[in-house]
Amino acid sequence: MQAALALFHANKNIFVEHGVREHFNILKLHSMVHYIDSIRLFGSADGFNTELPERLHIDFAKRAYRASNRRNYVIQMTTWLRRQESIYLQYAYLRWWASQNAANEDSHSQDSDTSIDSDSDGDSPLPADHHQLRAVDLPWQIHRFTMFTASRGYFVPRTCPFPNSKIQWLVDNHNASLIIPALDEFLRHNLHTRSHRKLTLQDRVDVYKYVKVLSPARPHFNSAKCLFKVRASPEIASKDPRKLPSPARFDTVLVIKDRDQYTASGEGISGLRVAEVKAVFDLPPHLGRFSCPLMYIHWFRPLQSFDENLQSFRLTRSSRQHQPNAAVLPVDRLLRPVHLTPRFSRDGSEEFYPNRYIDLELFERLS
């Protein structure tokens, strides 16, 4: 590659001499200078392309044109871009202003903490999720979240996409065959309601396609990267008969199985377990009141088996009496999604490996 690049630069002036080009100040050609060093430093150039200007074309041309009414669009595109720049400048100013106020509040809190510590006999331990979220890093949607603690919360759509759905529909479309016994067990342990009538497949619940969760902030991570979307969506038929239906999607997540272990540790996998979310729904009013939506899940086996060759945990689906090990839990037990890589074998057995390289926070937790 280096020889080919040197050969090109040695002979490129022929295009200038014949008037084909006036210069070679082209971004794509300049990028080629860095490819060799990048490959030596980081390995094979997977996913590289030469379409760097395409991103600007989308932002400055395609989106601006779509915002117009397609008549005299140049003036409208210019106006739209100017307004976008004004909004961005205002947003940048608000971020700067919030960071200045946060710094002032931190200095005042440190002064007050110092005065308090001087009167105390010893240091009190901090809770596991004591790192506070920095408002300056969070997107504007954060005000819509319902917070469990200072650093954890959830959000579901205000308009339920599948209201008043029969449990039979959940069984058929969400593979929630054990939701009735799992929900009965949840009610016995959490609401202590032993007098409620027996649930049937004709009972109705409000079902959501997804839930957004806010995980605890980490001191060296951007707080905006603590927002995750967990989907539990069935197959949805397309309104256009020529198009295929949207496939079902049931995300796998890290669930707080043991609150005490998780709170005591705060890091690693203590108190955590992997599960597949099959449905997110609200508890019917006649069964009682609960502070947050519920989720029906299928457990994986605990994070105990470790593959030394791959340096990763090995997971299989948990079963009980030849059926999925199912449970109903509140969404406040949901910590974050986790990507599982399947291992294909000739005997048809299912094994999965958590992909700890999907982001830095998961890498630290699973290492």
pLDDT digits over 11-66, tens only? 988 998 888 888 888 877 888 888 888 888 877 776 666 566 676 778 888 889 99
Q: Is residue 283 part of a domain?
A: yes
pLDDT at 356: 87
DSSP helix/strand/coil, 289: coil
Residues 243 and 351 in one domain: yes
Residues 141 and 279 in one domain: yes
Q: Is residue 234 part of a domain?
A: yes
Residue 86 amino acid letter: S
What is the mean predicted confidence (pLDDT) over 287-308?
91
Does residue 77 carry a pLDDT above 90? yes
Does residue 91 carry a pLDDT above 60? yes
Does residue 171 carry a pLDDT above 90? yes
Residues 204 and 314 in one domain: yes
Q: How much of the chain, in percent, has pLDDT values that exceed 90?
A: 38
Q: Is residue 69 part of a domain?
A: no
Q: Is residue 115 part of a domain?
A: no
What is the mean predicted confidence (pLDDT) over 182-207?
83
**Any idea which of 109-123, 164-178, 209-223 has the lowest mean pLDDT?**
109-123
Number of structural domains, the chain?
Answer: 2
Residues 247 and 356 in one domain: yes
How is residue 347 written in tokens? 């005997």
- Euclidean distance between the first and the last CA atom of the chain, given in angstroms as a whole number: 37
* Most confident range, picked from 131-140, 177-186, 210-219: 177-186
Residues 154 and 27 in one domain: no
Rounded-to-integer distance, Cα 169 and Cα 182, Å:
16
Q: Is residue 104 part of a domain?
A: no
pLDDT digits over 111-139, tens only? 544 443 434 343 333 344 444 444 444 55
Rounded-to-integer distance, Cα 291 and Cα 296, Å:
16
Reported confidence tier of residue 261, pLDDT bands at 50, 70, 90: confident
pLDDT at 314: 92
Higher-confidence residue of 318 and 290: namely 318
Q: Is residue 254 part of a domain?
A: yes
Residues 33 and 139 in one domain: no
Residues 46 and 149 in one domain: no
Q: Is residue 269 part of a domain?
A: yes
**41 alpha carbon, distance to own chain's centre:** 29
pLDDT at 26: 84
Q: Is residue 122 part of a domain?
A: no
Other Cβ atoms within 10 Å of 205 Cβ, number: 25
Q: pTM of the entire structure?
A: 0.64
pLDDT at 132: 45
Residues 210 and 323 in one domain: yes
Structural domain including 13 reads 2-50
pLDDT at 126: 36
Mean pLDDT score across all residues of the chain: 82
pLDDT at 117: 43
Higher-confidence residue of 129 and 326: namely 326
